[in-house]
Structure 1
Amino acid sequence: MANKLAQLLVIEPANELKFVGPFCTAVSSYMRLTNPTDHNILFKIKTTAPKKYCVRPNCGQLDPKSTIEITIILQPFIFDAAEKNKHKFMVQSMIMPDGDVSPEQLWKDVNPDDLMDSKLRCVFEQPVDNNQASSVVPLTATSTTANTQTASATPNKNESGVTSMDSQLAGNMNNEEEKLSDSSLVQEMKKLREAESALRHENLLLKEKLLRMRLDLESSKEQQMQSASSVSSGLGSSMSAGAGSSGAAAAAAAQYQNPYSPPQLATQQQIPIIYLAAAIAMAIFGLILGKFVL
């Protein structure tokens, strides 16, 4: 069997990933990968319990002389001492060849002997409980040492009681802060909803006002058009009435004639007839006078 290639990446931490409880919530740990070479190196991170961990990023490419930080999140679970230190991680890496090559295809086609891998184990640590940290003092045969032990044990009990009371008070304070934060959030939500309803009501009022203004404008336009049409029709009727009255007056004037004044046609025709008669009379008188003279 061929020897495995030595890992070129510098991994921190090198052997263990520590996760400090309590594990009722998500717990994070960090890993740092450094590429000290002059080659581009592809890496991939695997674990024996993929459903319990979230790794970001779980694969990628490291440029020469570059570093990347990996975040490993342990999902909440019920801690079991029998499961302690059973989970493991493995960092696989390989040198990326030159040319336009897909990393996904490289991982599929790579020979396992060409991979560089490093293994790390997970270590779970529970926080130290103050109640369990008290030391046990051995008993002696003499009553003096027993009394001393009893007297020394009593403050420890009181101290543990004070510690538990402090933890209860801290928990109560946290609960009150959570309640206050929840009530403040509820009040803010109520204020936001009231402001939203007020804005909607104001928007409706503005829309109604705009609609009324449009209706008033249209009605005023219609009234102006009606008044303009009535004025034009009045002017037309008055003009026609005036024309009719003037025509009637002219006709009446033409028909009316003063009975005492001679008609104009007769007078105009009478004047040349008189001249003609006078001329004829003068001509006859001249002829008669010429006969007598001769």
Structure 2
Amino acid sequence: MSKGRWPYVYILPMVAAILFAFGYPLVSVLRNSLYTGSIYELTYVGLGNFRTLFGDDVFRTALGNNLKLLLTVPLMTVAALLLAVLIHEGVRGGRFYRSAIFFPYILPAVGTGLAFSVFLQLNGGLNGGLRALGLNWLALDWLGSPDLAIWSVSGMVIWQQLGFGVVVFLAALLSLPPETTEAARLDGASWWQLQTRVSLPQIRSTIEFFVVTEAITVLSWVFTYVYVLTGGGPGNSSMVMEFYIWKEGFAQGAVGLANAAAVVVLALAAVLIAAYLVLRRRSLQDQQGVR
């Protein structure tokens, strides 16, 4: 065997393990989405599960709620960028703020959900504080109202994920060469111009990465928050696709329908990843063009 092939031989076991761990479940999900019945007795129905899926009001509500959660991504991005820039500029107590902001990100999701479920109750801490300030009109039923439940979940997601963005953006800002900023400052650039025309363009790829990562998160990683905080209710007003998959697949035994919903989630995630790769390619082409 030639020397050029030996590296591939060494990585072959790991590649095989990855294909088994990820490839086999993926193929199984795609296959099972075309069948109906229990896991022990499946009947081929083709695309019937997908027709049933998009004709289901509960799934359409879940899909709509996931799209609503996508609105948290630009809010998180802007807030994380602002906080990262302030800490990078040397605000007093920056180390403490950095740790305090990142701390929620490492907390267990179940514990965070339980804490928020108590805090957002009708007579919980948030409404108690609002009433103490004389803002009774703002003391709402955050978890019991069909119109507010999904937005309460959104607030929890922002609070929990914000620290990740701050740390990522701060690391990117700290890696920038100081000469560029100093040159712009000597040329008379204002603070706003330094950030929008010098610093932020240089960390564009990091911003794109964070946006895509968080978009995938709110599409496919919010089951625990919904399960603990609202249980998908009241009614199905805070149902999301992950919770729908669990409910249909495990609670009701509709394996084919659950797998079809999982394929939809996978397709949406694939679109986001493809969009990121396109943006990344364009960014690299622009950098090469500048050089």
Calculate the TM-score normalised by the size of structure 1: 0.24
Calculate the TM-score normalised by the size of structure 2: 0.24
Q: Looking at CA atoms only, which structure, 1 or 2, has the larger radius of gyration? A: 1
Structure 1 or 2: more helix by fraction:
2
Structure 1 or 2: more strand by fraction:
1
Bigger relative CO (Cα 8 Å, ≥ 6 apart)? 2
